[in-house]
Structures are given as structure tokens and as C-alpha cells.
Amino acid sequence: MLVAVLVVCGGALFLRALVGPLPYGLPVNSPMNAESIFGLAFVLLLFTRRDALPDKRTFAIPPFASIAALVLLAVAAFWRALPSYFLLDDFVLLRYARHFDFDALRPLLTTAGSDGFFRPAGYLSLAADALWAGVSPLRWHAAVLAIHAANTVLVYFLAARLGASRWAALFGAALFAVHGSRPEAAIWVAARFDLLATFFILAGLLFFLWEKPVSIPAALVCGALAMLSKEVGYVFPLLVLLFARRRLRSAIPFFLVAGALFAYRWSLLSGIGGYRDAHTGQPTILIFGFVHVVKALLLRLWAVFFFPINWTVQPDVLLALAMAVYTACVVWIVLRRERIPNLGLALGFVAIASLPALHLLLLGPDLQKARLLYLPSTGFCLLLSFAIDGLWNRRLQWCAATGILGFQVIALQHNLTIWNHVASEAKRACVAGAASVTPATKKLLVWGVPDSLDGIYFLGTGYPECVELEGAGNLKSVELRSGQAVPPEPGTSVLVWHPQ
């Protein structure tokens, strides 16, 4: 029955990608429900028991060759997006980084951020990049991509350390590198915090699993740096506990370090911090219920993991055909695989890594906020790595891996096309804003600039900084307004944005 559910949902999604919204008997406008049911059915099928198949054949790939292949894959997949323009918070962060004073590091460690967060390691890395990247979008995006490539290599070593064959570990890491949800995480400068936290978490877990005298101290340092990069780092002790197995006592120091850092953070922020609800004033992390948790963990996460497509732009025929092949490969895996010994470990990783952003994980068909799934997707890649390792025949492994990675690459390129278009629109809006400023301009009023476009963060909060970046240095004030433009006051320039 579950296999039939996979086939039906996969067929509906294929038709939705091929011909658009389906009004004929099976209305599929927003595909999130079909995607969610597909993902949940796959996970449930993995719990069905299968005895180990005889004559299992696999092959090994040298580690250095695997590392080189993964780095080249990451660069090739994102190459055309590297020159894309900055978006939204990028401009604010660039301005901060370019004016950072390395001779005054104390305020960075003793002052809470005005945004309700405390991320000194992340801000320090931005300031370091500003020394060589300047205002070049290509260099800034290359720095983010470099961290993503490093994380990809760490996923490879983690999968291998947890028992996957080198071939399966290479497949899982490649899936992590080119997963369709990556544009927001691997290109957007403001996602640096997510990538850094993930890097330190993965490195810390590898140190912990190393079981050498230096492993615990090194893992503690990595865990602390993860917590100082972004709040998701505070799940590190729970992940250590998940991986500890018979070494439960060894996880105690990690909880002590996390408790001390969290207490210090609480004292700086006068509370838990984070975003606040516009109506209640409460931290948004505290405003969600049981239904929200169930829907996010059991449905929405798996929808994005399995079908990371930005549906604001209709997919082309190539993506639809790749989806059909991909669906067949996923069904083939659950029918022909062996029992997965590390199933609970992979699913536990997904659940634990999702906890800090659980209140934000009801992602829509535009994939906005997909960067929040960057760390949890590690568990998904481990899951498929273990699953494909259970295919007893080398030819089956190659076919399934090719079908899955092919779909993810094509979905990624579909999403990157949208990203590049939005970035070019942002460039046009910023250049137009700077060009509208004259020596007599005291204020610039801008109507109609959205915070997001086609599911991608656009301008909004970063528009004053982007106008300054484009050369409007004599400008005193920039205001964004909505509604109908009104006649300007003396000394005020007016700009009305509209999509090209």
C-alpha cells in the first residue's frame, strides 16, 4: 500500500511539473501535500524489515579522489550563480564587515546583537572575508561556497565513519552538495551563519567519533564555536548523545559547555532572544503548538528533502522527466534494499537538528527559509546513503545514484535560474536608486520594493545600504513605502519599483 502511495504521489507531481496545476479531478496546485505524503511513505517503508541479501558487491574509491570529486562537483553545480548580486541582509552585513574594527574585539564578545542574536564567530568570519572580498559579489559567494564544499567533505567522512561504504558515503556527500534546496544556503551571504555552525558541528562529531585522547577537547572547541556561530549549534550536545551509544558519560562535558554559553547568552539578551512576534511581542520560538510540530517533522521536512523545487516558476520538461526517473529510483530502493542498521541514527539526526528552527519549518512551495534545513538535511543524506548501500548489486547502486543525483542537479539549476533572475532585479533596483540621487537630494522615497520575490529574499531591509553601495554616498535618508506614491517634498527623490 505504501509503495502504491509513492507511485501515485510521484505520478501526480510528475504531471504537475509537466503541465502545471491540475484542475481535472485531481487538483494539484500547490504540490506540498503530495510531496509530504511521498516522503512520509518512504520513511515508513524503511521500517519494514528485510533480511540481508547474499553476494553483496560494492567497491572502494580512494579518499583523496573522493574529496577532489566532491569539491569539483560543488563548484560546478554553483558556478553560474557566483557572480549574482547581493540580496536583502547581505548589504547590512557587508556594511558591518567592511567597517569592522579588529582592534576592538571586546564589544563583539560582550554585546548582544540588535537583531536579538549573539553570533560573534559568524560576524568575525564576515569581517575577515571583507579584508579580501571587498564589495565583489563573486568573492563573497565564493567564500560561502567554499564553506559548503568543506561541509560536503565532512559529510563524506561522517557517513564513512558511521559504517557506510566509501561508495555510499561518496553518494551521500554528493547529494548533500547538489541538493535542490541549496541556493539560499550555499549562495546567500547572510546564510554564512548556518554554514559555519554546520561545519563546526560536523567537525566536532567527527572528533568525538575519533576516540583519541585529543578527541574530546577538540570536539568541545568545535561545539563552542558552533554555538557562537548560530543558535542551531546548541543541538550539538544532543547529537553527541545520539552518537555516543555506550559512551554516554562522555557527553556530559558538552552539556556543561552548552549550559554555560547559553547562560551567558541569556544574560546578554535578557532572555532567549531571537525574532519576536509582531502582535504579541513574544519570541517566535515559543509560539507554536503540537500540530505545528507534527506537520513540520513528519510532513513538510520530507516534502522539501525529496522534492526541493521552487514551484513559483513552472518546471520545464527536462525537470519533469528527471522527476519521473527519480521517483522510480526511490521506489526501487525501498523494494530492493536490505535492512538499514543506522536508520534510527539518521532519523534522529534530522529530528534533533530541526529543533532550534522548528517554529519556522513549515516551508511553502517557494522554498523560502530552506537554509534552515541545511544541517537537518545531513541526516537525510545519511539516510539515503545507508539505503543505497543496501542495494546488493553494483549496477543497481549506479543506476539509483545516477537517477537521484541527476534529478537533484536539474532541480538545483531550476532554482538557481530563479535566484539569478531575482539577483539581477535587485541589481537593477539598487542602481536605479543610486542614479535617482542628485547633489540636492536629501531623502529618497521608494515605493513597491518587496522583501521577497519568487520565494527569494529580495531587498526591503537592505535597500538603503545597497543604494549607498552603488555610489549614493551623499544621501541622508532612504525610506521604503507601500501603496500609491505621493508628490515629493522639496529635496526628496521618488522611485517606484516594478518588476522588469
The pLDDT tens digits of the residues spanning 403-438 come to 999 999 999 999 999 999 999 999 988 888 888 777
Question: pLDDT band at residue 469, thresholds of 50, 70 and 90?
Answer: confident
pLDDT band at residue 500 under the 50/70/90 scheme: low
Same domain, 106 and 23: yes
Per-residue pLDDT averaged across 184-210, rounded?
94
pLDDT computed for residue 475 by the predictor: 60
Domain boundary among 421, 446, 462: 421
Residue 259 has pLDDT above 80, yes or no: yes
The pLDDT score that the predictor gives to residue 204 is 96
Residue at which a domain ends, from 391, 421, 451: 421
What pLDDT band is residue 218 in, cutting at 50, 70 and 90?
very high
Q: pLDDT category, 101, cuts 50, 70, 90?
A: confident
Q: Which of 449, 447, 444 is nearest to 492 (CA)?
A: 444
Same domain, yes or no: 402 and 467: no
- 274 vs 239, residue with greater confidence: 239
Residue 55 has pLDDT above 60, yes or no: no
**Domain end point (choices 421, 445, 466):** 421
Q: Please say if the pLDDT value at position 361 is more than 50.
A: yes
Helix, strand or coil, per DSSP, at residue 149: helix
Please indicate, yes or no, whether residues 397 and 306 belong to a single structural domain of this protein.
Answer: yes
The Cα–Cα gap between 17 and 314 comes to: 7
Q: Decide: 433 and 446 in contact? Cβ < 8 Å.
A: yes
Least confident of 68-77, 251-260, 374-383, 490-499: 490-499
**Pick from 51-55, 281-285, 334-338: least confident:** 51-55
Q: In what order do the strands lie in the sheet with 477-481?
A: 477-481, 443-447, 492-496
486 pLDDT above the threshold of 70: no
Report residue 342's pLDDT band, with 50, 70 and 90 as the boundaries.
confident
Same domain, 335 and 460: no
How much of the chain exceeds pLDDT 70, in percent?
A: 86
Mean pLDDT within 37-51: 80
Checking if the pLDDT of 192 tops 50, the result is yes
Find the domain containing 463 and state its range: 427-496
441 and 360 part of one domain: no
Q: Are residues 431 and 379 in the same domain?
A: no
| Higher local confidence (pLDDT), 422 or 449 | 422
Residues 453 and 354 in one domain: no
Q: Is the pLDDT of residue 207 over 70?
A: yes
Contacts of 392 (CB under 8 A, 6+ apart): 53, 54, 55, 56, 57, 336, 338
Across the range 244-262, mean pLDDT stands at: 89
pLDDT value at 401 more than 70: yes
Give per-residue pLDDT as tens, 285-333. 655 666 778 888 888 899 999 999 999 999 999 999 999 999 998 888 8
Number of domains in the chain: 2
Pair 75, 206 in one domain: yes
C-beta neighbour count of 260 within 10 angstroms: 12
In this prediction, residues 254-282 reach a mean pLDDT of 79
In this structure, the answer to whether residues 414 and 433 fall within a common structural domain is no
Cα separations in angstroms, 15 against 22, 86, 310, 462: 8, 35, 16, 39
Asked if 292 contacts 284 with a C-beta cutoff of 8 angstroms, the reply is no
pLDDT of 54? 45
Please give the full DSSP string across 444-456, using - where no structure is assigned.
Answer: EEEE---SEETTE
How far is Cα 448 from Cα 495, in angstroms, rounded to an integer?
9
Q: Do 233 and 350 sit in the same domain of this protein?
A: yes
**Predicted local distance difference test score (pLDDT) of residue 242:** 93
Same-domain check for residues 397 and 477 = no
* pLDDT over 80 at 103, yes or no: no
Do 460 and 480 form a contact (C-beta atoms < 8 A)?
yes
HSE (side-chain half, CA atoms, 13 Å) at 378:
32
Which residues, 6 or more positions from 275, have their beta carbon under 8 angstroms from its beta carbon?
A: 116, 283, 284, 285
The arithmetic mean of pLDDT across residues 61-87, rounded, is: 90
Check whether residue 303 and residue 351 sit in a common domain.
yes
Residue 162 has pLDDT above 70, yes or no: yes
Q: How confident is the model at residue 56 (pLDDT cuts 50, 70, 90)?
A: very low
- For the chain, state the CA radius of gyration: 24
